[in-house]
Amino acid sequence: MMKMYILFILVSIHFQIISSAQIPDIRWEKTYGGSGDDILLDITQDSNDGFITCGISDSKDGDVTGTHDNGDAWIAKITANGKLQWQKSYGGSIYDGGTSVQKTVDRGYIIAGYTFSNDGDILFNHGNSDFWIIKVDSDGKMEWNKTLGGSGYEDAFSIQQTNDGGYITTGYSNSVDGDVTGNHGDYDYWVVKLNSFGNIQWQKSFGGSGFDFPNSIKQTTDGGYIIAGLSSSTDGDISDHHDDRNALYN
């Protein structure tokens, strides 16, 4: 069977304000990974002008060390010039991934993703896939991790540190038990507020009877939150549906 190889490719582009039609110059590009499947899902600039990235890797060679089985959450710290400073793999024996990473005020990082595992770095699983939230220090050493969800399927897509030092995260859920309440009938937006230690302060489900998937969440200046995603629902929380899939704004 042919194995697909997917490498991380980061491209730094330099923009000059000369002409809106001018093609920007590529400053550098780098590939990271091993002989397995390596997929980059998020990147953000660090406080020292470097970058922090996260994604999924099932490699056990090349740039990737410390993996478990069947795909891990992989985080990599790189310099402003693209040099790999350090990398870490987190996971268990089944499928795990990191989908969102943000720097935190203590110079560490918060990672959101998913896990199907119930061993390795994962302390508990609610049934199938859970939100998996990982807090690491500035060198990638795990400080704590939390699984959130119910007996169905959950996957976190976005996380941000909030003004009170806690975290806000969102993804999808079709559970009706465990940590999840208020499901509307299928996959909903699931929004979870955590304190600084990763404990749930509150959670809310938004959606209708169709498929509702959030992609991003941000805290707003009034202390609330704005969420972007898509919806196929025509009922429930969806107030204005234009077509088969639609952004949810409520």
Residue 2 carries which DSSP code? Answer: P
Which H or E run contains 146? strand 142-148
Predicted confidence (pLDDT) per residue in 32-41, tens digit: 999 999 999 9
Residues 6 or more apart in contact with residue 196 via CB below 8 angstroms: 164, 165, 166, 167
Predicted confidence (pLDDT) per residue in 198-250, tens digit: 999 999 999 988 889 999 999 999 999 999 999 888 888 877 654 543 444 44
**Least confident span in 105-119, 125-139, 224-238:** 224-238
- Contact assessment for residue 248 and residue 212, using Cβ atoms and an 8 Å cutoff: yes
- The mean pLDDT value of the chain amounts to 89
Q: Which two tokens stand for residue 73?
A: 């959450």
Residues 6 or more apart in contact with residue 42 via CB below 8 angstroms: 53, 54, 55, 98, 99, 100, 101
CA dihedral (126, 157, 47, 23) in degrees, to 10, reads 160
- The answer, yes or no, to whether residue 15 has pLDDT greater than 50, is no
- Contact assessment for residue 233 and residue 211, using Cβ atoms and an 8 Å cutoff: yes
Q: Which two tokens stand for residue 95?
A: 């499928």
Could you tell me which of 138, 141, 135, 169 has the C-alpha nearest to residue 155? 169
